[in-house]
Amino acid sequence: MIIYRFRLTSEDHDDFLRDIEIQPGQSFLDFHEAVLSYANLEKCENTFFYTTDNKFKKQKEISLKLQKKLVRKYDDDLDQVITETYVPHLMKDSLLKNYVEDPHQRMIYEFTGKDSFILFIELFKIIKTEEYIVLPRCYAAKGHLPKKAQVPVAAADEKPSVKPAVPRIPAPAITSREPAIFSEMLEDETEIAEIENHIDEFMEEGSLKLPEKKTAGVSLEEEEMFAGGEEDEENRMESLDEYEDLEDLENKTRHYEGDSDDF
């Protein structure tokens, strides 16, 4: 039995290495499934193998799915660049032994799915053995290919978590800053309307009177006692005038009485 031992490496991830053993009569589809399994990659239809030269320059293309591609190339006969359509070989129809032309054959594996990787493949060793071995198999492994972080998706019956509502503290009620006396002086619209309805009746009956003005600290009797004060003052002045006339008259009379004694 002849065994191909291929070594897979990554230019972007130096710590990654896989040695995969496979038989020459197996297909590229078998090789592809072995790479997915041992490199821990998810299935992806957009996957290709390319045979290359010693500098990893692409030559033949081997595709996982049937597809048509357009290629531009120079035509010597027409002396111009032309576009051709070609169909790559399929992995399931392509055997490894038909594409290995060098003891150190080199290839490229391109994987483009949720994550994209390019792996460099080199035929590391050709082994002859009489043992029966189930192939393909991973002979050596080192490192891992990093994957993009996946955002968890909530299940259909799973309700999204809701943050508890923060209780709102009610703002203090705005109270009037006016003193209580002003609140008592508020107009009563009902009372004002009642007064306006009866004001004409009050004016006709002459019953609308102003309140009597009272002297602070003076009783009614005291008011009567001091009433007519001006008239008493005038009478008092007149009596004093009469008193002076009488005194003058008395003096004159006394003079005449003195003279009567001489007769």
How much is the average pLDDT of 214-226?
51
Q: What is the pLDDT of residue 117?
A: 93
Could you tell me the fold of the domain covering 2-62+90-142?
Answer: 3.10.290
Confidence of residue 208 (pLDDT cuts 50, 70, 90): very low
Q: Residue range 173-185: average pLDDT?
A: 52
Of residues 210 and 13, which shows the higher confidence score?
A: 13
* pLDDT given at position 260: 47
Q: State pTM to two decimals.
A: 0.55
- Decide which of 10 and 77 is more confident: 10
Residue 123 has pLDDT above 90, yes or no: yes
84 confidence band (pLDDT: 50, 70, 90): confident
Q: Which of 38-47, 126-135, 230-239 has the lowest mean pLDDT?
A: 230-239
Q: Is the pLDDT of residue 230 over 60?
A: no
What are 19-41's pLDDT values in tens digits?
Answer: 999 999 999 999 999 999 999 99
Say how far apart CA 126 and CA 223 lie, in whole Å: 146
